[in-house]
A = this chain, B = another copy of it.
Amino acid sequence: MSKTKILASAQDVENAFYDALERADLELMMSIWADDEEIVCVHPGGPRLIGYVAIRDAWRKIFEHGNRLEIRILHLSKVTTPFAVMHSVLEEIRVRLKSDLMAPVAATNLYVRGAMGWRMVSHHASPVPPLPAEPANEPPKVLH
């Protein structure tokens, strides 16, 4: 995807963001961020990064040295306005070729509409306590 591609919705940006994260594709990743000095990125446990250059540099290091990840997005909550959309998601993260899940991560993603369509302006991710087990994993209830 080129940096000048028009992204038609916040959801398109989000899909490309997680696609880039799974593929460790720096060019794709940076094509979906607004080219702005005020954009913000907080990786789980990491410092707050401000601006396109700092954010690109951190993703470059993550992609160069990190494991390849598989990410499943759960429980979207969203707030929509004409020029800005927030998605709050839970990320279920697994290192590829390993079976254990990592701690779930809550991410607040903010997208803004500009001349070239929608772009990400903020990604704030932090670990949250493990989710309660799904009801299907509980022993069956006996009613009598």
Let me know if A24 is at the binding interface, CB within 8 A.
no
Count of A residues near B, CB < 8 Å?
Answer: 34
The CA of A40 and the CA of B83, in the complex, are separated in Å by: 19
Min CB gap A47→B, angstroms: 5
Do the beta carbons of A79 and B122 come within 8 Å of each other? yes
Do the beta carbons of A88 and B126 come within 8 Å of each other? no
Q: What residues of chain B lie closer than 8 Å to A86, measured between beta carbons? A: 40, 84, 110, 121-122
Q: Which A residues fall within an 8 A CB radius of B?
A: 36, 38-40, 42, 44-48, 50, 75, 77-79, 81-84, 86, 88, 90, 106, 108, 110, 112-113, 121-122, 124, 126-129
Additional pairs, 7, CB under 8 Å, beyond known A47-B106, A110-B110: A38-B79, A40-B108, A44-B126, A45-B129, A79-B122, A81-B83, A83-B84
